[in-house]
Amino acid sequence: MLNLSVQNIVLKYPKKTVLRGLSADFAHSQIHALIGENGAGKSSLIKIICGNILPTGGKILLNNIDAEIKSPADAIKQGIVCVHQRPLLADGITIMENLMLGAAKFDKEKAKALLKVWLPGVSGRTLVKNCSGDMRFFTSLIGALLKNPEILILDEPSALLDAEQRDFLFEKLKVFAADGMNIIVITHFMDEAEKYGDTVTYLEEGLVSDPKPDFFVRKGASGAEGVADICNKSERPAEEDFTLSFHHLTSLPFDKPAIRDFSFTARGGQITLILGQAEDGRESLEDAICGMSSAKQSGKFEIKTGEKEFSFTIKNGNFTRRLLEKSPFIFGIIPSNKTFRASNPNLTIFQLLSSFDGRKTSIEDKRQQALSLIKKADVNISLNEKAECLSGGMLQRLILEREIGKNPDILILCEPVQGLDSISSKKLCDRIRTIADQGKIVLVLSSSEFPQELCDKIYRLGKKNLREAEA
């Protein structure tokens, strides 16, 4: 059994200090909740503990003995294993084959037993590309458990699980803790931290601190309680002559649930929410309406205003991002996978903020625009640093500012508040409401976290249909 201590951990980059002499203790046989605003240093601390990055100063102690952790392999040898927020799995092979990757000695029988516990009814022969987000998480968790960790770290598991799955997960984690395991869970939800955690460690600006009072506003992952008190539904009438519609949209991807004969309309001056789970086809719908699907498709896409109209008949992969860019309207699109579809960890911040902008401007103009976006997003980072240095919330804010900076007529947001703390969520929702009130079309796709109180129109996605619900 391992007790973990971090003492005076410092992490500095050329133009910022992320961790400022942070010290904390995590005892075995307990579940420890690590909580804080986006950019507080949670992910950086975990990366140091797991050997993904080296600290500028400080030390890690295991049972009061200095631990040399300079790589992920060192961490695993010491008994420290992490399940990342976006599980690192190979899409083209099966669940069981993924579990075998990197294993010096693979215990197939143990893997089968864990599959029955964590993914009941799911075959180990299932291709990962056909797995939903929760299935990917549990596959990654099984892979971690096969390494027999003494310290298990989970990075925001709530982002991929519904309420029932979270209860199931934490009940199992309690059993592990009772058997001596040291468990650290990163979360943005104070109610979750207090409900499941034996200890709660709050980080602010790279140090352990007391939580801000307004951090308690948002209480859980099932909704953004408190957000609607700040940014309510608009009282303005909708822009009836500015509409975006999909008629009889069908998309039949080979690796995701199909959608068939879906029709919906979003209006200017309103926030339209499409609510549903991945297994109901939300990801397939996202791919289709954002021009990112190569699946067999059919339907009609239509935008109308009082002055102009754009319509397009959708057929088998012809509805693309390039088509949207060539339309008479400006689109701002933020996919749910911000890390790879809206960015890339290897891009510099300058590339992240300028390479997705098709406007022909000078390098200096692009540089000044990028600096302006960084300031608006309230992110402390330089243009030459890599996107991998950003926390999830910081990346999300930068991408939002980049897309808003285009002055879009139509803004499509997929899981916009996922992974954001309560304060960042409130600011984001306020910004979205302001954009809609300017007469823009705002279309949101979300599993559960986006506040329904903020929306003017809501569609609910079922396994076989899309229907309008009461907003």
The CATH code of the domain that includes 168 is 3.40.50.300
**Does the residue 358 lie in any domain?**
no
**Does the residue 355 lie in any domain?**
no
Q: Which long-range contacts (CB under 8 A, 24 or more apart) does 361-369 make?
A: 369/405
Q: Count CB neighbours of 468 within 10 A.
A: 13
d(CA 287, CA 459): 17
Q: Which of 171, 199, 215 is the last residue of a domain?
A: 215
Helix (H, G, I), strand (E, B) or coil at 58: strand
90 plus 153 within the same structural domain: yes
30 plus 164 within the same structural domain: yes
157 plus 302 within the same structural domain: no
**What total of structural domains would you count in the chain?**
2
**Does the residue 414 lie in any domain?**
yes
**What's this model's pTM, rounded to 2 decimal places?**
0.77
**Does the residue 204 lie in any domain?**
yes
In which order are the strands placed within the sheet that holds 151-155? 80-83, 151-155, 182-187, 30-36, 199-204, 207-209
Query: pLDDT tens for residues 424-449?
Result: 888 889 989 999 999 999 999 998 77
d(CA 89, CA 133): 11
114 plus 158 within the same structural domain: yes
166 plus 126 within the same structural domain: yes
- Give the bridge partners for 266, in sequence order: 244
**Does the residue 132 lie in any domain?**
yes
211 plus 258 within the same structural domain: no
26 plus 88 within the same structural domain: yes
Q: Backbone dihedral region of 79: left (phi > 0), alpha (psi from -120 to 50 degrees) or beta?
A: left
- Give the bridge partners for 334, in sequence order: 413
Tokens 């516990």 correspond to what residue? 117
Written as six digits, the tokens of 221 are 């992952």
- Give the bridge partners for 186, in sequence order: 34, 155
**Does the residue 227 lie in any domain?**
no
Written as six digits, the tokens of 418 are 């996922």
**Does the residue 233 lie in any domain?**
no
Per-residue pLDDT of the chain (471 residues; tens, 9 = 90+): 999 999 999 998 877 888 999 999 999 999 999 998 877 889 899 999 999 999 999 999 999 999 999 999 999 999 999 998 777 788 889 999 999 987 778 899 999 999 999 999 889 998 887 787 788 899 999 999 999 999 999 988 877 777 788 889 999 999 999 999 999 999 877 888 888 999 999 998 889 988 766 655 444 444 444 444 445 555 555 567 899 999 999 999 877 789 999 999 999 999 999 998 877 888 899 999 999 988 899 999 999 998 888 999 999 889 999 999 888 999 999 998 887 888 888 899 999 998 766 667 788 999 999 999 999 988 888 899 888 878 777 888 899 999 998 899 999 999 888 777 777 888 889 989 999 999 999 999 998 778 899 999 999 998 789 999 876
User: Is the four-CA dihedral 316, 317, 320, 323 of positive or negative sign?
Assistant: negative
Contact present, 455 and 272 (Cβ < 8 Å): yes
118 plus 156 within the same structural domain: yes
Q: Which of 163, 197, 215 is the last residue of a domain?
A: 215
How do strand 309-315 and strand 296-304 relate by DSSP bridges? antiparallel
134 plus 61 within the same structural domain: yes
At 454, the amino acid letter reads: L
**Does the residue 52 lie in any domain?**
yes
43 plus 144 within the same structural domain: yes
Domain residues for the domain of 40 are 4-215
142 plus 277 within the same structural domain: no
pLDDT of 432: 93
89 plus 172 within the same structural domain: yes
Q: Count CB neighbours of 366 within 10 A.
A: 18
Closest alpha carbon to 407 in 357, 469, 444: 357
Written as six digits, the tokens of 301 are 């896409």
pLDDT of 138: 93
Contact present, 94 and 128 (Cβ < 8 Å): yes
- Planar angle of CA 274, 275, 276, nearest 5 degrees: 125
